[in-house]
Amino acid sequence: MSEAPAISKPVEYIQHHLQNGSIGGKPESLVDFGVFFWDIFAVTVVLAGIFAFVSYKVGQNLDPDKPTGLQNILELIVEFVNQTVKDIFPDADQWIGPLAITIFIMVILMNTMDIVPVDLLPSLVAGVASIFGVDPHHVYFKAVPTTNLDTTFALGLMVFLLIIFYNIKSKGFVGYIMMFLTHPFAAKSLPLKIVLAPANVGMTIIEELAKPISMGLRLFGNMFAGELLFLLIALLGVGWAMPGQIALGSLWSIFHIMVIILQAYIFMLLTVIFLGLASQKLEDH
């Protein structure tokens, strides 16, 4: 039903789809903490709930001798993540593994919402809203949490805070400050050290900030681009171009599966790598 105007007004269609369902109206500036996007939050909570429920079910009924069904799959993933963590970050503490697997699975789940037909969930929500007397044209719903900067930066911020935590844990607070002063340009003599310190501080701050921001933007960019392409394919509508939409949509979905898993894997891998780096002792330059 929403396809008909979509073809006649493609810009409006896409803009409608890119707008979040929010509490507090549209965000006024780039950073606006007065706004809360309930749609992506709800989807995230539901996905987290499904993941937690399945994990709980499997975790409670572990059969050590004859693993079946979901236990096999989860064992496989846990073993894979555990091996990755062990390879990259050998003396990882007990939290790195759960962190990595949660990021891996959650990013995969959130990205997978991209495969769900772009109009399905928004139409469903609009339909439900219209039952309660809300104009369906003003109901916005964005189903993919990772096409939103909030989600990817939330993950990035989490990693950022953990990097600081592990830095201080392994190097001590003074060591952490020393890292800013003596890294990346090292010097032997004290005067040279003092001269290089401002440059070091600037470089290290950029380096540390670049880590979470690049992670967040990478995931966001990949998923947003994928979502946008699905929207463009959806513009073909249900008329004579329907076969083209089906063919292109299927092709892009198949290709996108790779992106979904790859991005989740990259995010997990970078998290472990950064935390591994943060846990190294301060080298004596």
Partner 1 sequence: MNVTATLFGQLIVFTVLIWFIKQYLWEPIINTLEDRKTRVAEGLAAAEEGHKFEEQAQKQVEEELGSAKAQSADLIAQAQKRASEIVEKAKADAVDEANRIKTAAEAEIAMERSRASEELRSQVSTLAISGAEKILGKEIDSSAHAKALEELAAKI
Binding-site ranges for partner 1 (CB under 8 A): 22, 24, 27, 29-37, 40-41, 44-45, 48, 51-52, 55-56, 58-60, 62, 64, 74-75, 78-79, 82, 94-95, 97-99, 101-103, 105-106, 145, 148-151, 153-155, 157-158
Contact 122, 143 (CB under 8 A): yes
In the complex with partner 1, the residue whose CB is nearer, 159 or 260, is 159
> From the CB of 73, what's the least distance to partner 1, in Å?
11
Residue 166 contacts residue 276 (beta carbons within 8 Å):
no
Distance between CA atoms of 86 and 78, rounded to whole angstroms? 12
Give the active site residue among 72, 218, 250, 279: 218
Length of the chain: 285
CA distance 244 to 234: 10
CB of 60 to partner 1, least distance (A): 7
Q: 3-state DSSP call for residue 36?
A: strand
User: What's the angle, vertex CA 174, arms to CA 169 and CA 180, rounded to 5?
Assistant: 95
Element housing 204 (H / E): helix 190-234
Task: Kindly name the residue from 61, 72, 130, 214 that is annotated as catalytic.
Answer: 214
Shortest reach from residue 186's CB to partner 1, in Å: 35
Q: Out of 20, 111, 222, 279, pick the active-site residue.
A: 222
What does the alpha-carbon distance between residue 249 and residue 239 come to, in Å, rounded to a whole number?
15
2 tagged catalytic: no
Q: State the nearest-atom distance from the C-beta of 95 to partner 1, in Å.
A: 7
The answer to whether residue 55 is catalytic is no
218 classed as catalytic: yes
By beta-carbon proximity to partner 1, the closer residue of 19 and 280 is 19
Of 80 and 255, CB closest to partner 1? 80
Question: Two tokens at 273?
Answer: 């790598």
Residues taking part in catalysis: 214, 218, 222
